[in-house]
Amino acid sequence: GLPVFFCACTDEKKRAGMAQRLVGLEWKFGVTASSDELQAVGSSFVLVRLRLAPKQGDGEELTVPMELTLPQFYAFLHELEKAKAALESA
């Protein structure tokens, strides 16, 4: 099974604090090719889209987009691996 998240979505108050089940994760790696800030050019990032479904099975699927730096992505991946290990040992 995939981890359960708690989603606090400001645009949809009915979902605030509702337990969500991760049903999909997509990611794309990118490199900034052009920017007003010279420092940003050549920096890498990861675009992540989480697909969440209500834990109880009633309601719509929710997509949560995120743009992460590489260190943030690796930290996020580490947390997902810890959650998976905890679920497998339970």
The alpha carbon dihedral of 82, 7, 75, 26 has a sign of: positive
pLDDT value for 55: 73
**15, 20, 26, 27 alpha-carbon torsion, rounded to 10°:** 80
Query: How much is the pLDDT for 80?
Result: 86
pTM over 0.85: no
Which carries the bigger pLDDT value, residue 31 or residue 17? 31
Beta bridge partners of 45: 30
What's the CA gap between 47 and 26, in Å, rounded?
8
Q: Mean pLDDT across the stretch 8-26?
A: 63
Q: Check pLDDT > 90 for residue 33.
A: no
Task: Please tell me the predicted confidence (pLDDT) of residue 29.
Answer: 93
